[in-house]
Amino acid sequence: MKDKETLTKSSLSGKRLVLIGGTSGFGLATAKAAAVEGADLIVVSSRQSSVDKALNVLPEGTEGYAVDISDEQQVEDLFKKIGEFDHLIFSAGETLQIGNLTDVNIDDSRKFFNVRYWGALMAAKYGSPYIRKGGSIILTNGIVGIRPWKGWSVAASIGGAVESLTKGLAIDLAPIRVNAVCAGMVKTDLWNNIPEVDREAMYNEVGSKLLTGRVGEAEDIAEAYLFLMKGNYTTGQVIVVDGGNVLV
């Protein structure tokens, strides 16, 4: 009986998940994986077209909302509309600005922070009162915050901020568990601004140097989100999923 109870507690069956950024990349892959385990899904994106596209590939009954995650009132209204749920996954983000410091556009950089940092903070603020007992929040980060690359100062600083936010929220919101997934290079739409031939060459070059011999797929990262949702004793942690990138 004890073993059966433990399995039931760790299952996502019947759990209600809110995935902000759940219409593409890590978020969509996690939504698909959680659906296989019986979770009920709510996906959120800034674009209605992205929501509609995701709803076409997710199970019937999935809810979808178009929300500007950088707008505090829209975020607050979203959670009032959704009501109680179990897990919040925040993976929203646009393609980051990469280049020499002298070329950094400060206004654009502020917009990245508005989504990736302030958006995450607002989601935690307004979403946490609706999270049921045993629930969690999972934020999203990148290894550039741990090991910056040339030209990635803005992205690295956002990564550092999100890591500190994760730990701070874990204390402030306890017993709600708060963790983050920190990904290495992964094949997602965020790289689509690079021509396909150059993009594939980049994947091959980086992947050949990794301990796994390849760059990641969105499904690889989804496994970490599922682990953290079901890890009832894990909080305040940043789980790195990078193919060993920070080691080489």
Q: Evaluate the CA torsion angle 223, 194, 215, 184 in order and state its sign.
A: negative
* pLDDT(41) > 60: yes
* pLDDT(135) > 60: yes
**Section 224-242 average pLDDT:** 97
Contact assessment for residue 202 and residue 194, using Cβ atoms and an 8 Å cutoff? yes
Say how far residue 17 (Cα) sits from the centre of its chain.
13
Residue owning tokens 């890590």 = 26
Contact assessment for residue 117 and residue 159, using Cβ atoms and an 8 Å cutoff? no
The predicted structure's pLDDT at residue 1: 45
Place 109 in a pLDDT band, splitting at 50, 70 and 90: confident
In the chain, the percentage of residues whose pLDDT exceeds 90 is: 78
Extents of the domains making up the chain: 11-247
User: In angstroms, how far is the first alpha carbon of the chain from the final one?
Assistant: 46
91 CB-near residues (< 8 Å, 6+ apart): 19, 20, 21, 22, 25, 26, 27, 30, 140
Q: Which residue has the higher pLDDT, 240 or 198?
A: 240
**Section 100-105 average pLDDT:** 84
- Neighbouring CB atoms inside 10 A of 143's CB total 21
Amino acid occupying residue 168: G
Alpha-carbon span 26 to 181, nearest angstrom: 10
CATH class given for the domain over 11-247: alpha beta
Least confident of 7-16, 105-114, 234-243: 7-16
Full-model pTM: 0.92
Say how far residue 50 (Cα) sits from the centre of its chain.
16
The predicted structure's pLDDT at residue 7: 47
